[in-house]
Structure 1
Amino acid sequence: MSLKKFSNLITTKKEFNKLIQSTDDLRKKVIQNLNFTEENIDWKSLKIQGTTFLGCDFKKDDAIYLISQGAFVYPKFTGYPFSPHRKKLYDWQELMDGYSEEMDESVDLKIYNHFVKHKYNPPMEEALAERIHDYGIDVALRNILEFDEFGMSERKVVGFMGGHSTKRGSEYYTKVALAAKRLSEKGYFVATGGGPGIMEAANLGAYFGNKSDDDLMHAIEILSDLIFTAENQRDYFAKNYISQSKKVLELYPNGAENLAIPTWFYGHEPSNLFASYIAKYFSNSIREDTLLAICLYGIIYAPGSAGTTQEIFQEAAQNHYGTFGYYSPMVFLGKKRYVEDTSLYSVVHQLAIGMPYKELLYLTDDSELAVEFIENNPPIMV
């Protein structure tokens, strides 16, 4: 049974009217950002104890009655550069609105600059606004992935993780882009952490899932034509990093759908423009856990540093204990990195001895073999 809509959250008047026509029981419902000041609703005819109203507008007497009957009424938040009451995921156009090569005045940066002021000790109102925002992102994400009653998503999500400093056009950038393209072509839904490097490569490759390999290689050439500053040679600090991405999108519009799940926690990085959906969180712990949890059809790990290492062992723990009801493939793309340089594959392989997910571990240098392994090894129900 596919749960195509997260049924507890009501975000439109149409949904609300349909609900009260079918039932008088609003208990455990969450009603978000609706204006009831022009409505003549008979609240006394409804069961509203425990109903949550987030950022809704009421007539004064109605608000007093709802609170007196045990409803939770949270006020609107004002003065924030973000809407705590998200009804959908972001896209890059919204986040990058206001950006130019001369001056970054993007919505993304404004939100980050606001967030960082209270990053370590947020006052209650700030913390609550962030948590409600992230809850809205949770719901919007569930609605596009469509989980069934057993915790399996309608979309076959495969994740890619690896270094955010991986240069455009480098060996593993290209390998990951090709692997993501193949998976997209085969009906998988590619997800990443949403940043530059390996994450961008995977979103780019998935975006080109309905285009040719030659088109993808041409796009990578365009992306690699960067103008660096003398003091910093990282791709995402290049003067034309964003504009080269826009050139690709203009030349190759209407790409295949894919997902990015970034965070404002680590700092401000240029947004990845190749993701169709962007589930951006304030809480990195929720974001990290969510990204790993939804990739039930597997994760491909390209070479990365400390962040990638953390993600490897976090996913290994989820697999080890069957945390989300399934054992999922873990593919290590890069023998030198994961055997010679770090022994990470060997450690995870040793941990998996005697566990069902041991058969879902795979080490290769070949992106085509990585895709083949994902295709031939679907998730195993715990």
Structure 2
Amino acid sequence: MRTEISDLDQLRATPDLRGAVLTGLDLTSEDLRGPLDGALFLGCVLSPALQRRAEAAGALTFPVIPDVPYDVYRTRLYTPAELFAGFDPTNPASYTDTLDARVYRHSRHLGTRPDPLHALAERLHDHAITEALDEVLTGKPVAVMGGHALSRDSTGYRAAVDLGVALGKADFTVLTGGGPGAMEAVPLGVRLADRTTVDDVLTHISRAPRFGADDESIGHWLAAFPTDLPTTATPRTIGIPTWFYGHEPPNPACEVHAKYFANSVREEGLLTVATGGIVYTPGKAGTVQEVFQDFCQNYYGSVGPAAPMVFLGKDFWLNEVPAAPLVQQLARGREAEQWIIVTDDVDEALALLTSYQAG
């Protein structure tokens, strides 16, 4: 396994750099005398002499890519504070100056088929995000899928918050798609699990129940969210959004976000890392797509043992959007069958997830 180095103190304590991965370091003043065979320099600044030594040793250097508003070789996930840096709640239009908005505009300008340089930059960024996500995941995280259109003043949003509270009290690490609606409500509930102020928070944020198509509207939506939610040393609420749907900002409820450019990588990745199972709350086409992507993984065992699929909302999943019966039919006689339930009872859902965790 390669040694990964992203700060100078760690570098100076690692004399043998054979096969090491060095990321984002200014090495122009560093005296690297040890072997560099097979080293990988990602976004580092090398002196001419060091560049020659690295090339002679067979090391690879990936240079800083200019004129992009994001860190191509980042080594950590995004926090809401980083994505929304520069936002002034008293000036909702200031959302347009945030990192999140600037990266989205850049991506939109390039279009769906960016030139080779920018396409490579986006792929390298997304690979770095996947690596950073792997580093913070522990145990068997549970994902919750559901509609992005739920407004903060709706009964569905409140039900998703209550689900999050239950998952938080059961000490699950919870993943969502990182956007608005159910994707915001569930992590909000997880973070409020030890508080008695759920009603007060919902009353406060319902002043901006949804956002429109412009940055000022998003700013009003963002400004209504509390900034004093509890955090943990190891994040228990992780969003996995995408700039492909950048018109929907990442929610401020998740402690960290693994934000991607490629939606296909984001979708498959979210389903793959949810090794503790997935809870499906009512949603539309995107949620149904995730149901069958997830079941395909479980059916073929392509990424590990079959994990729970919890369809929360019987009438919706059996009648309104009858995806659950088809999944159950396809799973008949296979390992996945025992881990599929359709229920209205959150306690029943938690019992199945907990049983799987203990297995």
Provide the TM-score with structure 2 as the length reference: 0.90
Q: Does structure 2 retain, via aligned residues, the 8 Å contact 1:261–1:287?
A: yes
Count of residue pairs the alignment pairs up: 351
SS in 2 for 1:140: helix
Residue 314 of structure 1: aligned partner: 293
Inter-partner Cα distance in structure 2 for 1:233 and 1:241:
12
Instruction: Letter of the 1:316 partner, please give it.
Output: F
Equivalent residue for 1:249, pick from 218, 221, 227: 227
Residue 280 of structure 2: aligned partner: 301
Residue 216 of structure 1: aligned partner: 198
Aligned-residue offset at 1:47: 4.6
SS in 1 for 2:173: strand
Inter-partner Cα distance in structure 1 for 2:299 and 2:281:
21
Deviations 1:187-238 (A, max 9, x none): 21011010001101111111112223xx122212222223779xx699x957
List, as ranges, runs of 4+ consecutive aligned residues in structure 1 with deviation greater than 6 Å: none
Q: Does structure 2 retain, via aligned residues, the 8 Å contact 1:258–1:275?
A: yes
Deviations 1:293-322 (A, max 9, x none): 111111111111111011000100111111
Equivalent residue for 1:359, pick from 313, 338, 350: 338
Q: Does structure 2 retain, via aligned residues, the 8 Å contact 1:194–1:262?
A: yes
Equivalent residue for 1:173, pick from 142, 149, 157: 157
Aligned-residue offset at 1:360: 0.5
Deviations 1:105-153 (A, max 9, x none): 22101000001122322122212221222222122211111xxxxxxxx
Cα distance change of structure 1 residues 126 and 132 upon mapping to structure 2, 3 Å threshold: same
Aligned: 1:267 with 2:249: no
Equivalent residue for 2:166, pick from 178, 182, 187: 182
Inter-partner Cα distance in structure 2 for 1:81 and 1:124:
17
- Pick which of 66-75 and 300-309 moved more: 66-75
Aligned-residue offset at 1:369: 2.6
Residue 69 of structure 1: aligned partner: 57
Aligned-residue offset at 1:283: 1.5
Aligned: 1:11 with 2:3: no
SS in 2 for 1:265: helix
Inter-partner Cα distance in structure 1 for 2:209 and 2:315:
31
Deviations 1:161-193 (A, max 9, x none): 011001223233222211221111222101101
Residue 147 of structure 2: aligned partner: 163
Q: How does 1:321-340 map to 2 (within 5 A)?
A: 321-340=300-319
Aligned: 1:113 with 2:105: yes
Cα distance change of structure 1 residues 210 and 227 upon mapping to structure 2, 3 Å threshold: closer
Show structure 2 runs of 5+ residues with no match.
none
Q: Does structure 1 retain, via aligned residues, the 8 Å contact 2:22–2:41?
A: yes
After superposition, the CA RMSD in angstroms is 2.3
- Pick which of 198-207 and 266-275 moved more: 266-275
Instruction: Letter of the 2:337 partner, please give it.
Output: K
Q: Does structure 2 retain, via aligned residues, the 8 Å contact 1:77–1:129?
A: yes
Aligned-residue offset at 1:377: 3.2
Equivalent residue for 1:196, pick from 176, 180, 185: 180
Q: How does 1:122-161 map to 2 (within 5 A)?
A: 122-145=114-137, 154-161=138-145
Inter-partner Cα distance in structure 2 for 1:228 and 1:304:
17
Cα distance change of structure 1 residues 93 and 349 upon mapping to structure 2, 3 Å threshold: same
SS in 1 for 2:143: strand
Show structure 1 runs of 5+ residues with no match.
1-5, 146-153
